[in-house]
Amino acid sequence: MGYSVIHNLRIALAMFLLLLSTSAKSQMRVLDGFDDVADWEVFSPEGVRVSIHSEPGHHGNALRIDYSFDKGGGYAIVRKPFDFDVNPNYQFAYWIKADSLPNNLEFKLVDPTGSNVWWHIRRKYNFPKAWSRITSSRRQINFAWGPTSDHTLRTVGSIEFAISSAVGGQGTIWLDDLSYAPLANPVPLDAPFNISCDSCDEQKLHPTDIPYPLRITTRTPLEIDLLGTRELGGLALNWAPASTGQPYTIEAHHQSGQWRLVAVQTLAATPSPSSHSRQKTSTGFGSHQKRKKMRSI
């Protein structure tokens, strides 16, 4: 499941428009804009060819990686040394586009000893053909291998991007604006938040205290302020019996500062009272019918 880092949640449904917003200032800092790729090294076994180049990117120049699995399997790695500490909770992000078959995309963090590795692997990844920003947060980055018994990453000694063979072939990947942001410690899902809507005065509430039913219209959307940074893996919408099948959209306002559509329901389905439906998006958010509540999915 995907997780989305947001600070405030604004929900509106239009007929019911559902919006997620952010107000906190991002602490994201660019580790490498790839304007100069001279410090990146390539590694590959016999039977795999890999090369890197500098080309115009999403912003300034980008790192271009050309790879070819001549014998069907293997891996292609690009690596650069770094030296910085990470917070207990954090997120890495970068822009990517590719002309590639769905091979594995690996994002790796190596400690200063060079022997202990943490990674986030996207298996049989469907690479975007247009520039897209993807993230790897602390909860997605796991200890991969190494001799240490302490599996908590504290200092980054180098960063690697690797393409490992899932279907083989050859391709080209472009990377731009690799960045890092410290995040606040995770907040319990049942932590209070501010909510405002047509049928409730703005107030601090727990999820179990949401007044029901809520009257939400195109003119008066439901707005939720999460009162700080949170990572959410999903959202459940439970409808009153008379409101099932209403179309809606969901938009999110993330650290990037831009509103982004994350889900849309256009068909007015008419399920039986005991049935439910679910829609997933690339951000990991979904919807349910019956009562409105929020939970991780």
Residue 104, beta-bridge partner list? 164
3-class DSSP assignment, residue 238: coil
Q: Is the pLDDT of residue 228 over 70?
A: no
Residue 156's pLDDT band (cuts 50, 70, 90): very high
Listed by start position, the domains of the chain span 4-24+188-225+228-265, 29-182
Separation of alpha carbons 122 and 127, rounded Å:
10
C-alpha dist (Å) from residue 46 to 68, 69, 76:
11, 10, 10
Q: Is the pLDDT of residue 219 over 70?
A: no
- Domain range 29-182, CATH class: mainly beta
Q: Please answer whether residues 6 and 18 qualify as being in contact, where contact means their C-beta atoms are separated by less than 8 angstroms.
A: no
Which range (34-38, 209-213, 240-244) has the least confidence? 209-213
Q: Please answer whether residues 228 and 21 qualify as being in contact, where contact means their C-beta atoms are separated by less than 8 angstroms.
A: no
Query: What is the reported pTM?
Result: 0.70
pLDDT digits (tens, 9 = 90+) for 180-193: 999 877 777 677 77
Radius of gyration of the chain (CA): 22
